[in-house]
Amino acid sequence: MNLLEVKNVSKIYGNLKALDDVSFNVKKGEWVAIMGPSGSGKSTVMNIIGGMDTASEGTVILDGVDITKEKDKNLTNIRRDKIGLIFQQFHLINYLTAVENVMVAQYYHSMPDEKEALAALERVGLKERARHLPAQLSGGEQQRCCIARALINYPALILADEPTGNLDEANEKKVLEIFKQLHDEGATLIVVTHDIEVAEQAQRTIVLEHGRLAKIVENEAFGDSGANAPEEEGYAAKGGLGQYGKPKRR
């Protein structure tokens, strides 16, 4: 079952086509990488999938909802309810501690729960640093905090934009290990990267060039894409991080 369907999507800025008739699907529980050189349209497609930009043409159906037809307010709700965002530059709020940064996502989603936020930080190995401000955390720690924030509301889709772009090798491994665990638990991941080693961790790699879909590469190590993710029982349906129990709708 497809969680995401991108159909003939184009994005046009004046005379420039940032995206040109791009189509692909992402199944529930699938880990997909989007690769391409600078200016290939990676970020544009991420923004459109994430409901932060609109397509000029085509449709994007996320979890059964055509988000290209939704208004700004509904897009905000869709981002809040269905998407977890991970950024290259972490984007933590600098005056809030790590645990408070995680709770901010809960706050806008439903109800803040400090215990749950601490558990999410423990999951990414940051429990001891929960009361530290972002400026007191290393880059790797900030990224793990960002991941904990993205996961806290059990999103249907995790969108990560160059999540290891600002990390050293050791921290890159830690982040990829967390992604693997999430994938094993049924999370649906789309990771934008220019790092071939990161892309190779995904089941499929969608390669963009000049705004067009150049090719889709299956990672043989995984076999058929999405094979490890039961269609009827994805990450969100399972309650995200399994050890934390069922997802709460507050």
Partner 1 sequence: MNKRKMYLRMITSSLMRRRSRMIIALLAVAIGATIFFGLATIYIDIPQQMGQEFRSYGANMIFLPSEDGESISDETADKLKGSIPENDLVGMTPFRYENVRINELPFMAAGTDFEQVKKTAPYWYITGNTPSGEGEVLVGKDLADTVGAGEGSEIFIKIETGNDKMEEFTFTVAGILQTGGNEEEYVFMSVADMERISGTKEGYDVFECSIRQSAQELKALSDKIGSENPGVTPRLVKRVAESEGTVLTKLQALVLLVTIVVLGLTMVTVATTMMAVVVERRKEIGLKKALGASNGSITGDFLGEGFFLGLFGGGIGIGLGFLFAHAVSLNVFSRTVFFHPVLIPITLGISAGVTILACLIPVRRATDVDPALVLKGE
Question: Where do contacts with partner 1 occur on this chain (CB under 8 A)?
Answer: 43, 46-47, 50, 52-53, 73, 76-77, 79-81, 85, 87-89, 91, 93-96, 100, 103-109, 111-114, 133, 149, 161
Rounded distance between C-alpha atoms, residue 234 and residue 239, angstroms:
9
Closest CB 229 distance from partner 1, rounded Å: 25
Residues contacting residue 160 through CB under 8 Å, at least 6 positions apart: 85, 86, 87, 150, 179, 189, 190, 191, 192
Closest CB 50 distance from partner 1, rounded Å: 7
Closest CB 230 distance from partner 1, rounded Å: 28
| Closer residue to partner 1 (CB): 44 or 203 | 44
Rounded distance between C-alpha atoms, residue 82 and residue 208, angstroms:
25
Closest CB 102 distance from partner 1, rounded Å: 11
| Closer residue to partner 1 (CB): 108 or 233 | 108
Parallel/antiparallel/unpaired status of strands 65-66 and 57-62: antiparallel
Rounded distance between C-alpha atoms, residue 183 and residue 35, angstroms:
19
| Closer residue to partner 1 (CB): 105 or 158 | 105
| Closer residue to partner 1 (CB): 53 or 122 | 53
Residue spans of beta strands (DSSP E) within 79-171: 83-86, 157-161
